[in-house]
Amino acid sequence: MEFFNVGTGKGSSVLEVIKAFEEANGTKVNYKIADRREGDITAAYADTELANKELGWHAKLGLKEALSSAWKWQLKQ
């Protein structure tokens, strides 16, 4: 069995994701800036090289488009 990471291969900060979500959906997110907690990771993103090579898979959507699509799906639930 094989597993593949999919995504854009580019990381985004929490604040970048919040701002992208707000712009994509016209919705304000209530958030608070706080110190990093013990054990919090500093970065996480998908290495998509294997999926690109083996599957020919590449992300078609950017962050804003993906967040907009996910929010529209969530609103229907």
- Mean pLDDT computed over 58-74: 93
Per-residue pLDDT, 16 = 93
Q: What is the CATH number of the domain that holds 61?
A: 3.90.25.10
Cβ–Cβ contacts within 10 Å for residue 33, how many? Answer: 6
Say if 63 falls within a structural domain: yes
Q: Which long-range contacts (CB under 8 A, 24 or more apart) does 53-56 make?
A: 54/2, 54/4, 55/4
47's tokens: 């290495």
- In the chain, the number of structural domains is 1
Say if 19 falls within a structural domain: yes
6 has a pLDDT exceeding 90: no
Say if 67 falls within a structural domain: yes
What is this structure's pTM?
0.76
Domain that holds residue 67: 14-76
Per-residue pLDDT, 61 = 87
Nearest to 61 by CA among 24, 27, 18, 16: 24
Say if 7 falls within a structural domain: no
5 has a pLDDT exceeding 90: no
30 has a pLDDT exceeding 90: yes
